[in-house]
């Protein structure tokens, strides 16, 4: 089976994106994994996926336990599923994830001044590579907010990245993957959650940064983005696309549906069934779009 680096190289060459989906419970993981596997049954080659767990999600699931679970799925089903330590804010947590066997680690210093972000991201790269050179390390520039929730208004201080910043950051940190701010935003506005409006990406900026850096790139805060922008982002250089808030919303609505149908049910696995189905549908739609499949 291909390594994550090989998967990213293949996606980059074909100008498609790998779907990255966050989890905080097994029901969400079931929806993501089953959705990807079922969709891939009709394909010659299964579409790889990345499972993300942020610091908070790792605290809930367990760092070693999350890594072991994804490894077990990959080996049991021979399916290209990988795990990313998403939005890691301290070097101690970077080391913890790398030692636990994560395939990728994102050190997120985007709230820091640029010089400090470069300094600490470089340290994160050095720590990870000293543990296992094959682990992919990602860094982030610009600011797109920090909450994967439904929010009342756009986060204050959103700042787009520039090609000049991107070149400097990549050169001085030696990251494998760059996550720039290109019109994306963490979380969903209320009208985005209902599909009335969509996030609009700066595709020209994506093209400029890709041409300047020639590196794998990640689109964070993808939930609520217009389909045509998702497709254009993948085609023009985004190698990984993150979706989290959409899945959380699907989980919540599925649970409400289940409780509404049977308010006396107390078996968690039965109540989670609708949430799992909702999540599967989103994952199937997204990986189809990211993979350029008509």
287 Cβ contact list (under 8 Å, min separation 6): 19, 35, 36, 39, 47, 49
Give the model's confidence band at 127: pLDDT under 50 very low, under 70 low, under 90 confident, else very high.
Answer: very high
How far, in Å, CA of 105 to CA of 280, rounded?
25
Asked if residue 152 has pLDDT above 60, the reply is no
What is the predicted pLDDT for the residue at 146?
A: 66
Mean pLDDT taken over the chain: 93
Q: Kindly report, residue by residue over 32-76, the tens digit of the pLDDT.
A: 999 999 999 989 889 999 999 999 999 999 999 999 999 999 999
Show the domain range for 65: 4-290
Angle, CA of 238, 200 and 116, to the nearest 5°: 60
- Residue 128 in tokens: 């990870």
- Residue 200 in tokens: 């609009």
Structure letter (DSSP) for residue 143: B
Most confident of 141-155, 157-171, 179-193: 157-171
What is the predicted pLDDT for the residue at 293?
A: 76
Q: Residue 163 is part of a domain; what is its CATH number?
A: 3.20.20.70
What is the predicted pLDDT for the residue at 168?
A: 98
Asked if residue 194 has pLDDT above 60, the reply is yes
Bin 260: left if φ > 0, else alpha if -120 < ψ < 50, else beta: alpha
Angle, CA of 227, 231 and 233, to the nearest 5°: 115
Instruction: Please name which of 26, 104, 97, 39 lies closest in space to residue 63, comparing C-alpha atoms.
Output: 97
Count of the separate structural domains present in the chain: 1
Task: Give just the sign of the alpha carbon dihedral 13, 174, 117, 7.
Answer: positive
- Residue 44 in tokens: 């010659």
**Average pLDDT in the 215-239 region?**
93
Which segments of 23-101 are extended strands (E)? 49-53, 81-88
């Amino acid at each position: 089976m291909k390594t994550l680096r090989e998967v990213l190289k293949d996606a980059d060459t074909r100008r498609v994106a790998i779907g990255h989906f966050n989890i905080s419970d097994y029901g969400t993981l079931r929806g993501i994994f089953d959705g990807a596997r079922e969709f891939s049954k009709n394909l010659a080659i299964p579409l790889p996926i990345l499972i993300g767990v942020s610091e908070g999600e790792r605290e809930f699931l367990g760092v070693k336990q999350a890594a072991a679970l994804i490894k077990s799925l990959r080996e049991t089903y021979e399916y290209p599923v990988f795990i990313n330590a998403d939005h890691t804010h301290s070097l101690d947590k970077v080391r913890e994830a790398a030692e636990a066997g994560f395939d990728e680690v994102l050190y997120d210093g985007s709230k820091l001044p640029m010089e400090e972000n470069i300094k600490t991201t470089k340290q994160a790269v050095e720590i990870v590579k000293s543990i296992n050179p094959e682990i992919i390390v990602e860094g982030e520039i610009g600011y797109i907010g920090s909450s994967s929730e439904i929010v009342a208004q756009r986060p204050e201080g959103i700042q787009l990245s520039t090609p000049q910043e991107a070149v400097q950051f990549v050169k001085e940190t030696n990251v494998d993957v760059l996550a720039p701010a290109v019109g994306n935003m963490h979380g969903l506005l209320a009208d985005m959650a209902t599909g009335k409006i969509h996030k609009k990406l700066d595709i020209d900026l994506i093209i400029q940064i890709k041409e300047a850096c020639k590196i794998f790139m990640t689109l964070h805060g993808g939930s609520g983005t217009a389909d045509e922008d998702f497709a254009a982002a993948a085609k023009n250089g985004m190698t990984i696309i993150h979706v989290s808030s959409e899945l959380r919303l699907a989980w919540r609505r599925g649970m409400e549906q289940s409780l509404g149908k049977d308010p006396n049910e107390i078996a968690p696995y039965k109540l989670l069934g609708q949430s799992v189905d909702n999540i599967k549908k989103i994952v199937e739609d997204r990986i189809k779009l990211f993979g350029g499949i008509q």
